[in-house]
Amino acid sequence: MEAEETNGPRIVISLSVLTGISFLTLITRVFCKARCGKPLGWDDHLLSASWACIVIYSGLTSAAVTHGIGHHRAFIAPGSLPVALRHLYAARFFSMIALAVSKSSFALTLLSMTRKPWQRNSLWFIIISLNLVVWICGFSLFFQCSPVRKAWDFTTSGTCWSVASQANVGVAAGAYSAIMDFALTVFPVVLIRDMPMGIWEKIGVLITMSLGIFAGIAGIVKSRLLPTTTRSTDFTFSSADLLIWSATETAVTIMAVSLPYLGLVIKELFPASQTPSEPRNEQKGWRFRITGKKYETLNDDWINGVGSSEDGGPRRGRLVMQDGKATVSYQ
């Protein structure tokens, strides 16, 4: 074992890349919505807040690296270890909050696409239950040791939960978060299936939103690493993978919920790529698109029906929304 051996640079570089890529996709989402005249909603604000938590997490973890995290414990100065662990303790809290906030943003984005009560109720269950589990586990960090300082300064007198109990709290939050990732990945299939979109547009949205499955995988990997890292006698060196995967889960969630909006700009820049059948209401025979919960027709809100009027010309009408239902008023 050489004194120069360290995981510090790998930790800092990995967190910087994850933070940078997630920021680019977040900016892409905001730009695409602005380009298409869509106002920012709560899901956008929550997604920005989750990215801010990742920035704080990365900053605190990088500060811990400067005090020895990534090095073998035997080579860390006794006075530096408490400072490093204190930064990691705070970083862990922000990483857990980032999970809850990013997945709440994902669920809110899907909520705007729902049409049936059971879909809305399911998403609200995900939002409420996930936040309860993660926030409770997050705040429990400050009650695991008495006084809390003992969590990072082993010379302080006091008591702490057992190592197994501390690990189980993190595993519980990570496991439930991973389950919700898989649930949120399946949900777009249910929502988009019956929407008036072209087949290739549907496939594109599903592929980008399915990136959430990788967030779930990251959550599982992180949960498996947590117990072994916590029990390790050389945890300052072996914690590198856990620290990286903790940021990966939230970063991938931000990407999964941001990239589908790129299709809005692509559709605007390349209108020729849209076939006449995109989008179509096959039952009624007229073409329209859905924006949020409002219906907008494609041709100056005139609808050209497939039938004919009494004088032999094409039927024309305006799409009218009443009590949440679309009807046509023919001219």
According to the model, what pLDDT value does residue 77 have? 85
Secondary structure element (H or E) that encloses residue 268, with its range: helix 262-269
Secondary structure element (H or E) that encloses residue 314, with its range: strand 314-322
Question: At residue 271, does pLDDT exceed 60?
Answer: no
For residue range 189-247, list pLDDT tens digits in order: 777 766 655 665 666 666 766 777 888 888 888 888 888 888 888 888 988 999 999 89
Q: Rounded to an integer, what distance in angstroms lies between the CA atom of residue 58 and that of residue 92?
A: 10
According to the model, what pLDDT value does residue 127 have? 92
For 58, how many CA atoms within 13 A lie in the half-sphere containing its CB? 25
According to the model, what pLDDT value does residue 288 have? 44
Q: Rounded to an integer, what distance in angstroms lies between the CA atom of residue 278 and that of residue 289?
A: 9
Question: At residue 323, does pLDDT exceed 60?
Answer: no
Q: What is the pTM of this model?
A: 0.74
Question: At residue 304, does pLDDT exceed 50?
Answer: no
According to the model, what pLDDT value does residue 4 have? 62
According to the model, what pLDDT value does residue 305 have? 45
According to the model, what pLDDT value does residue 248 have? 92
Is the separation of the CB atoms in 262 and 28 below 8 Å?
Answer: yes
Question: At residue 297, does pLDDT exceed 50?
Answer: no
According to the model, what pLDDT value does residue 132 have? 93
Mean pLDDT of 59-71: 93
Question: At residue 331, does pLDDT exceed 80?
Answer: no
Q: Rounded to an integer, what distance in angstroms lies between the CA atom of residue 331 and that of residue 325?
A: 19
DSSP calls for 47-98: HHHHHHHHHHHHHHHHHHHHTTBTB-GGGS-TTHHHHHHHHHHHHHHHHHHH
Choice between 123 and 259, residue whose per-residue pLDDT is larger: 123
Give the C-alpha distances (Å, rounded to integers) separating 26 from 31, 267, 270.
Answer: 9, 19, 22
According to the model, what pLDDT value does residue 177 have? 85
